[in-house]
Amino acid sequence: MASTTKPSAPTVSFPKSEAASKSYNFAQAWDQSTFLTEQQQSAIAALSHVFSERPFPPNLSQDHQDNAVSAVSALASANENNNSFQDYGSSTTLPLLLNTNQFYKWFTDLESAMKSETEEKYQHYVSTLTERIQTCDCILRQVDDTLDYFNELQLQHQAVATKTKTLHDACDRLVVEKQRLIEFADALRSKLNYFDELENIASNFYSPSMSVGNENFLPLLKRLDDCILYVESNPQYAESSVYLLKFRQLQSRALGMIRSHVLSVLKSASSQVQAAIRSSGNSKAAVSEGVEASVIHVRFKAAANELKPVLEEIESRSSRKEYVQLLAECHKLYCEQRLSLVS
């Protein structure tokens, strides 16, 4: 009986995974083994005919069983010799499956291997993703910590800016307050200068070298008058009445010095006139005739030139009663000295 030629298997690309490769190879081998020769088909038909006619009796001899097993083994050996599996690049030898249980067991192992391999791939992917998630979480925590630091730094910056602005405002207020105090101190000092001048004026007026003819006498007198006027205008100041009394005493002393100076100059002029008359040896009749009138005029004119600055200063203060009184006394002294010469 001619044998049936088995068609060649198509060329296919094998999967990369080991479990998938095993499954594919087994499927190819299973397909190859399904093709039977005519001899094998005839043997199967004969066996089917024999077994279909009558079953074996229970007391079947051991010889018959051995023959049946031998026939089945021979059939399997012939099938293995004629239809061997082709190697598709896999290094693993495929198992020989003789019954359904072996196939189920093999298929279960193969499915478990494929599942384990698939799970291993996804477990590795899950592990990688977990590591990436943990890394991202760590980065997020660091970013959050950095943002917290920036927020704290911003709050500190705002606090420093607020304190700096407060300090600047306080400095500006202090500068304004300082300027106000300086102006107040200057104003107070200018007012206190009138009171402080008491000691200075008193020391000068009571100095032995001070006289009406001294160049500092008239400026001191003017300063004394200004102080008296200021104290009189501000009686609300503490101890102003005491200072006014002391200033008045100094003014009385200064006016007394002026009166004494005028009297001294006029007496000196009168003495010089009298000395000139006595030295001429003329009689009083000659005086009446005007011979000595020129002598009197010259001497008193010289005295008037000496007294002129003082008298002009007194006349400039004629609005004050004490100076009016002093000027009247000076006129009286002048008249007395002139009358003494005439008489």
| pLDDT tens sequence across 310-339 | 888 888 888 888 899 999 998 898 888 888
- pLDDT band at 162; cut points 50, 70, 90: very high
Q: How many CB atoms are closer than 10 A to CB 29?
A: 18
Give the Cα separation of 9 and 266 in Å (integer): 168
CA distances from 6 to 34, 78, 251 (A): 10, 15, 159
pLDDT in tens, 128-149: 999 999 999 999 999 999 999 9
**Lowest mean pLDDT segment, chosen from 61-75, 122-136, 186-200, 322-336:** 61-75
Q: Which of 104-108, 177-181, 314-318 has the highest mean pLDDT?
A: 177-181
The top-scoring range by mean pLDDT among 20-29, 57-66, 248-257 is 248-257
Res. 91 pLDDT band, cuts 50 70 90? very low
How far, in Å, CA of 308 to CA of 258, rounded?
12
Q: What is the pLDDT of residues 274-306, one digit of tens each?
A: 777 777 655 454 444 455 566 676 777 777 788
Please check whether residue 318 is in contact with residue 324, taking contact to mean a CB–CB distance below 8 angstroms: yes
Let me know: does 41 contact 1? Beta carbons within 8 Å.
no
DSSP annotation of 86: P
Is pTM, for the whole model, over 0.75? no
